């Protein structure tokens, strides 16, 4: 565990700014090497994906059309794991207004999600009373799961890029478009996060 915190501290000190970034769709980053800007992605790519729940049930994310989503790659043995508490607080605060968190466990960053589906489910429910949907482990690096290929490569240019660590958050509007990205150190209850959520929800 101490090694985990040391690794996190080291990475944070090197890339603190990027780990705290909040990116909003429609505000593109400058193109690299003088290349022409890439046209924004179109279509409802996120909710076109099919995923599996922790119980192994295959479902289409299209069932969440009409809801505002916060998609998060989670881990049970990370220095950022306590963010589960704030994710659940968001769920409780906004669920009645058409919002839900979707948790996607991932073992790609420091091998910090080694458990089975049952172990993940038990940990999240017993320690953090998680009520939002959790899904089977995904790959967010290398040979990416289709959903994470979309999230990192096929969305608005301002939001694209490799995931740096656990608990990167993607905000998705009711039509399935990714509209904001919050890097790992941006906590779920950060005013920048809640402000963007509030913009998408019915008043």
Rounded-to-integer distance, Cα 195 and Cα 200, Å: 9
Q: What is the pLDDT of residues 103-143, one digit of tens each?
A: 999 999 999 999 999 999 999 999 999 999 999 999 999 99
Whether residue 42 is predicted with pLDDT greater than 50 in this model: the reply is no
- Residue 5 confidence (pLDDT) above 80: no
pLDDT in tens, 107-117: 999 999 999 99
Q: Which CATH number fits domain 2-7+22-29+39-200: 3.30.1540.10, 3.40.30.10, 3.30.870.10, 3.40.50.1110?
A: 3.40.30.10
DSSP the chain: -HHHHHHHHHHHHHHHHHHT-EEETT-PPPPGGGPPPPPPP-S-TGGG-EEEBTT--EEEGGGGTTSEEEEEEE-SSSTTTTHHHHHHHHHHHHGGGTEEEEEEEB-TTTT---S-HHHHHHHHHHHH---S-BB--B--SSS--HHHHHHHHSS-GGG-S---SS--EEEE-TTS-EEEEE-TTS-TT-HHHHHHHHHHS--
pLDDT above 50 for 27 = no
| Active-site option among 17, 78, 106, 124 | 78
Instruction: State whether residue 175 is helix, strand or coil.
Output: coil
Active site residue 124: no
Q: Report the distance separating Cα 28 and Cα 140, nearest Å.
A: 22
pLDDT at 44: 62
| Secondary structure of residue 59 in the 3-state scheme | strand
142-158 pLDDT, tens digit per residue, is 999 999 999 999 999 99
């Amino acid at each position: 565990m101490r090694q985990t915190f040391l690794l996190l501290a080291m990475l944070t000190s090197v890339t603190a700014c990027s780990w705290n970034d909040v990116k909003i769709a429609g505000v593109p980053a400058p193109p690299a090497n003088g290349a022409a800007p890439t046209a924004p992605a179109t279509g409802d790519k996120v909710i076109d994906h099919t995923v599996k729940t922790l119980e192994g049930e295959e479902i289409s994310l299209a069932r969440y059309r009409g809801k505002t989503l916060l998609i998060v790659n989670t881990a049970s043995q990370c220095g950022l794991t306590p963010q589960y508490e704030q994710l659940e607080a968001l769920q409780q605060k906004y669920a009645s207004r058409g919002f839900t968190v979707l948790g996607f466990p991932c073992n790609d960053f420091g091998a910090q999600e080694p458990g089975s589906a049952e172990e993940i489910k038990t940990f999240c429910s017993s320690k953090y009373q998680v009520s939002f949907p959790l899904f089977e482990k995904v790959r967010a690096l290398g040979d990416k799961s289709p959903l994470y290929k979309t999230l990192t490569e096929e969305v608005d240019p301002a939001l694209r890029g490799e995931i740096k660590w656990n608990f990167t958050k993607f905000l998705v509007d009711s039509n399935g478009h990714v509209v904001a990205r919050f890097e790992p150190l941006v906590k779920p209850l950060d005013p920048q996060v809640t402000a963007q959520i509030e913009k998408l929800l019915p008043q």
